Structure 1
Amino acid sequence: MLLRILITGASSGLGAAIARHYAAPGKMLLLWGRDSVRLEAVANQCRTAGATVSIRALDLVDTAAAIAAIADEDTADAIDLAVLSAGIGDIQASIDRVDPPDTIRIMGLVNFVTPSAMAAALADRMAIRGRGHIVVIGSAAAFHALPFAAAYAGSKAGLARFTEALRIGVAPHGVNVLLVSPGPIDTPGGRAVPAPRAVLVQPSYVAARIARASAAGRGHLILPWPFALLRAIDRLLPTALRDRLLNSLRPR
């Protein structure tokens, strides 16, 4: 019997690395992404590794379509593990004072509303079966009020709080929900983040850590470790000092 694994955002970056990590005989990978050409390329790599692969082109701006697709996939055969990796980021240009309203709308849908709805829909189905694993990819940015990436940090903060609540709610029904809060990852998007290159982590490393944490039934994974420390520091700093520090990180 094939282990069915759903991975969103699988056409590039961390999602693609997660797909490659799980690719092996006995695995059925359901790979979703916006770019069907790149998605097929990742699918072929996974097939070469021995996995059975199905792809679906989907834009998470369409929440209703994503929820319907989850229902279709899980009705066809139960999903054992879902890794909700799809997301978008944005950093304000130096001349911008605030995020454009449409950027906030789209980022709210892709980073918060749709993955939360998908996680809830699948968690309910898994709870009925009494088993299942869901991994939600958030961001260490959720811990900080970043003035140059307010829409991104805000959407990921909402996702983090929702995921924590979902984990508590479905744990008694045999469903494990893991929130992953990574710092910048060594991808084109991650390299655009105003952070020292030394803290960038490789997608393959993050994928392996996620797989271990999910298998162990953990509830939250922060990596690399300095970001757990930064989270604690952010909570302890006086507001005025924290505000000045966060403003100083704004790209010039």
Structure 2
Amino acid sequence: MESASKERGPMANAQQNGEIRFDPVTVLITGASSGIGAELARFYARSGRTLVLWGRDAARLERVARDCRTMGATVRTRVLDLADGHAAIASFREDDTDHPVDLLILAAGLGDMRQHAERTERAETVLELGLVNYATPAALATAGAERMVLRQRGHIVLLGSVAAFHALPFAAGYSGSKAGLTRFAEALRNGLAEYGVGVTLVSPGFVDTPMSRRVSSAKPFMQTAPQAARLIARAVEEERPHLIFPRLFAGLRILDIIMPRPIRDAIMRRLKADQAPRAAG
């Protein structure tokens, strides 16, 4: 593997079974301690590859790292909270200096909504959602782009949500933060196209993760985290600009756009959802 990497360079599109596949040497994943981030770490774990895994929960992060090492990957971990954007930027630059990142997957995020008994969301929660779901991932993507542009290669994945397409009255902070990330990803992709750096936005529906399990309302077409990881990896290989899954939600997005506002608002106001409080830490 080492000699093959030297021949192909730090990152390559390698031949496998007659098909071109994306073959990053170093992958950095935020939110790697659980859910989609953890499954993406396991998906990309293999001999000859370095994984840089970030998460908030040290014990869970180490369990994922152990799994990936068992599969032959070299693993580095970092425990941090993305609410501190300046620390996240500095950490990325430090990790990228030690292990130049070919694939940056920004999978960390928070999912909170107005509690059923409350009339509004908490201002502090909306601020935290804005930082963790939008501001820090956008800043990290920019930090990654700065380095990748110089190397003329790399791919950035931003994990959004189908909630970005709809004005959810009980989750204005969540849907708003993901909507901002959606527009940022599109703008970043357009800005980096000429430099050989790809950007993929992922907009999933319900995925069976700790975040979704807190939601007590209906969760139609829910997918498993391993299924989501495979879909995301395939989208990266295909250099797709936007992955929406399940596909039904792509149709609902179009319907939301073309529907007259009074009708759309009336439907949104009728929607109800509730959620268990987030576990401490």
Question: Fold match, TM over 0.5?
Answer: yes
Matching residue's letter, 1:203? A
Q: What does the per-residue CA deviation read over 1:157-208, in whole Å, with 9 as the maximum and x for residues that have no partner?
A: 0011111100100110000010000001112321344664441011101101
Match of 1:139 among 161, 171, 186: 161
Structure 1: runs of 5 or more not aligned: none
Aligned residue in 2 for 1:7: 29
1:167 aligns with 2:167: no
Alpha-carbon distance in 2 for matches of 1:106, 1:81: 26
1:184 aligns with 2:184: no
1:102 aligns with 2:135: no
Alpha-carbon distance in 2 for matches of 1:193, 1:224: 18
Match of 1:56 among 72, 75, 78: 78
Alpha-carbon distance in 2 for matches of 1:91, 1:194: 12
Report deviation, 1:240: 1.6
Residue pairs, 1:228-243, within 5 angstroms: 228-243=250-265
Tell me, yes or no, if the aligned pair for 1:184 and 1:193 is still in contact at 8 Å. Answer: no
Q: What does the per-residue CA deviation read over 1:107-142, in whole Å, with 9 as the maximum and x for residues that have no partner?
A: 100000000000001111101110001100000100
Aligned residue in 1 for 2:244: 222
How high is the TM-score relative to the length of structure 1? 0.96
Alpha-carbon distance in 1 for matches of 2:59, 2:70: 17
How high is the TM-score relative to the length of structure 2? 0.87
Alpha-carbon distance in 2 for matches of 1:26, 1:116: 29
Q: In percent, how many aligned pairs have the same letter?
A: 52
SS at match of 2:207: coil
Structure 2: runs of 5 or more not aligned: 6-24, 275-281
Alpha-carbon distance in 2 for matches of 1:157, 1:120: 18
Aligned residue in 2 for 1:123: 145
Distance change in 2, residues 1:197/1:150 (3 Å): closer
Match of 1:29 among 34, 39, 51: 51
How many residues are matched? Answer: 252
Alpha-carbon distance in 1 for matches of 2:210, 2:125: 19
Aligned residue in 1 for 2:97: 75
Alpha-carbon distance in 2 for matches of 1:77, 1:83: 15
Larger Rg: 2
Alpha-carbon distance in 1 for matches of 2:174, 2:141: 19
